Structure 1
Amino acid sequence: MEALRKDFHVVEMPLACRSCETREGGICGAMTDGQLSELSRFTSRRKVDHGSELLSQGERIVSYANIIEGVVKLTKRMSDGRQQIVGLQFAPGFIGRPFANESALTAEAATDIEICVVTKSALDRMVMRTPDLGHRLHSQALVELDEARDWMLTLGRKTAREKVASFLYLIATHSDGDSSGTLRFELPLSRQDIADFLGLTIETVSRQMTKLKQESVIRIETTRSVTVHDIDRLAEVAGIDC
């Protein structure tokens, strides 16, 4: 028995992983403690200021990242320099596309963010050996695809009022509420960026925000600070089935 005890080795989860708020919801939730310990040798936790570029369109991919806190803005650039915001990512979102060599999008910190960065080579190896990890990445990609299709509906068929409400609902549902269910959050985009994201003018966005405030659907504390007391009512205005 003593010999068996000496040969038996328990691999503990790294301390940084144990304290990570998004571990279970992200790709790391599909890994064993031993796999997390192995991968932790190739990871680093970083804080990034808003406005900083994480990855540029056309750039060679050398690392991936999990979002621990904050919001990341995804943009697509045309050959003549014009660009469009095509999505937002929240914790525990995954930045990057496994096994791709070049980024198809630009990823920028829309707010101050914290990310866990892992080298591409290390994670690609882990995915090849860990079916559950590959499945988790595949599931996340399908969720993003479904969200992109929903957003196509928002842009193509909804009214200006519904579009603005849909954007607010998107941010609100990725925010923490208090015991009463009230959601308070900071808008991760400027009014101009919101307008570009929704295919509206900045004047229309401001007008619709004011109307939603007057109807008590939202409260606007400052230019970017918003409070939602009844998320179901906001969903109704947005034309979203809860």
Structure 2
Amino acid sequence: MDTHRKDIHSSDLPILCRACEARHRGVCGALSASQLISLNKQSTRKHVEAGSELIGESQESNSYANIIAGVVKLTKMMADGRQQIVGLQFAPDFLGRPFRADSSITADAATDVNVCSFPKTVIDRMIKETPELEHKLLEQTLKELDEARDWMLTLGRKTASEKVASFLYLIATHINPESDADSASFELPLTRSDIADFLGLTIETVSRQMTKLRKDGVILIRNNRHVEVPDLAKLAERASH
């Protein structure tokens, strides 16, 4: 175990890996230095503009990726062509579904996104070689399952005011993941229309509830998309009752 830890923190790590959030908090944290070096040689850093598709529903994928920066929107298509936003992903989430040939969702860049992409065959091989990597991927899957269940509660039981506050708290705590932070500042990653779709509300209701939060001093809104939360605890309280 000590040898493995020494290997992980080796100064031989690629420079990009040393500073990468996915390296420290994401799935790459389960890899040894030699595995990271091998993966780095076959990985590609990409900048994806907002609105671009990263993964298509039912599309067979030959690569995976770590989200380095930005927000990814996950949607499901209904038989009649309607779409529903079913989730959001943030850095350092893993983008893709190991053990499956294709994707059951569409992943689009909600904002400009930076990803580190690597061949599916390489990760699949490393999963077989490294139980820690498989465990890390399972942890992320379970985290997403827990968040989906929490969101079912939000959509099914919370009031419109609580839904909007819950959405803002979700963004604030995932874009600013420091657990000891008392405040947050971020750009809204979704349009008012997408927020309404995500929350099962009308655009007018979303705008009305955000205006109420602003008037109550819970949030500050600048230039229509930039949100500041002076007190995260106060926003969390509005999200729960």
Using the size of structure 2 for normalisation, the TM-score is 0.92
| Map of 1:235 onto structure 2 | 236
Query: C-alpha offsets along residues 160-207 of structure 1, whole Å, 9 cap, x if unaligned?
Result: 000000000001112339998331100000000000000000000000
**Alignment correspondent of 1:128:** 128
8 Å CA contact 2:64–2:120 kept in 1: the answer is yes
Q: What is the CA–CA distance in structure 1 between the aligned matches of 2:120 and 2:177, rounded to whole Å?
A: 35
* Change in 2 beyond 3 A, CA 1:182/1:75: same
Distance in 1 (alpha carbons) for counterparts of 2:162 and 2:170: 12
Structure 2 residues without counterparts, runs of 5 or longer: 1-9
Give the Cα–Cα distance (whole angstroms) in 2 for the partners of residues 150 and 176 of structure 1. 20
Counterpart for residue 151 of structure 2: 151
Question: 2:52 maps to what in 1?
Answer: 52
Shift of 1:148: 0.2
Q: Which structure dedicates a bigger proportion of its chain to helix?
A: 2
18-27 vs 127-136, which moves further = 18-27
Residue 92 of structure 1 is matched in structure 2 by 92
The answer on whether the counterparts of 1:49 and 1:109 sit within 8 Å (CA) in structure 2 is yes
Corresponding position of 2:112 = 112
Matching of residue 187 in structure 1 with residue 188 in structure 2: yes
> What are the residue-to-residue correspondences of 1:214-229 with 2, within 5 Å?
214-229=215-230
Note if contact 1:177-1:183 (Cα within 8 Å) is conserved in structure 2.
Answer: no
Whether the aligned pair in 2 keeps the contact of 1:50 and 1:112 (CA below 8 Å) is yes
Specify the SS of the correspondent of 1:79. Answer: coil
Shift of 1:16: 1.8
SS in 2 for 1:50: coil
My pick for the range that moved more, 163-172 or 30-39, is 30-39
Match of 2:35 in 1: 35
Cα distance in 2, alignment partners of residues 84 and 177 from structure 1 = 26
Counterpart residue identity of residue 194, structure 2: D
Over 3 Å counting, the alpha-carbon distance change for 1:192 and 1:25 in structure 2 is same
1:38 Cα deviation after fit: 1.4
Of structures 1 and 2, the larger Rg is shown by 1
The structure 1 segments of at least 4 consecutive aligned residues displaced by more than 3 Å after TM superposition are 176-181
| 1:122-181 deviation per Cα after TM superposition (whole angstroms, max 9, x unaligned) | 100000110000000000000000000000000000000000000000011123399983
Is the alpha carbon distance of 1:177 and 1:227 closer, same or farther for their aligned partners in structure 2, counting shifts above 3 Å?
A: farther
Contact 2:90 2:175 (8 Å CA) reproduced = no
Task: Report deviation, 1:15.
Answer: 2.1
Q: Which amino acid in the other structure matches residue 229 of structure 1? A: P
CA contact (8 A) 1:76 1:105 kept: yes
- Identical aligned pairs, as a percentage? 59
Q: Please, which runs of 5 or more residues in structure 1 have no aligned partner?
A: 1-9
RMSD: 1.8
